[in-house]
Amino acid sequence: MALNTPPPLDFQYEKGYEIPTKHKEAIRQLHWFGKVPICALMVRYKLGDTTIQKILGYPAPER
């Protein structure tokens, strides 16, 4: 029986390009519901603190 593992991270951010909505929502959910600290999100997604704070500051997910 195989262990449940999360899918591989398919996030390849290039500076100057828009971050896909699915990744913005994942960052929001990991932080607010999963209690993942911002420093861990910075390492996982290779983004700066300002970018993470901006994503977390959105009033609602973009659609």
Rg of the Cα trace of the chain?
12
Question: Is 35 a member of any domain?
Answer: yes
Q: Can you give the pLDDT at residue 12? A: 82
Determine, yes or no, domain membership for 49.
yes
The number of folded domains in the chain is 1
* 5 is a domain residue: no
Ranges of H-type helices in 1-63:
21-32, 38-45, 49-56
Specify the pLDDT at position 7: 60
| Residue 27 buriedness (CB in 10 A; 0-12 / 13-18 / 19+) | buried
Which pLDDT score is estimated for 8? Answer: 67
- Written as one letter, the residue type at 43 is V
Whole-number pLDDT of residue 10: 76
pLDDT at 51: 93
pLDDT for residue 2? 55
**List of the chain residues with pLDDT < 70:** 1-8, 60-63
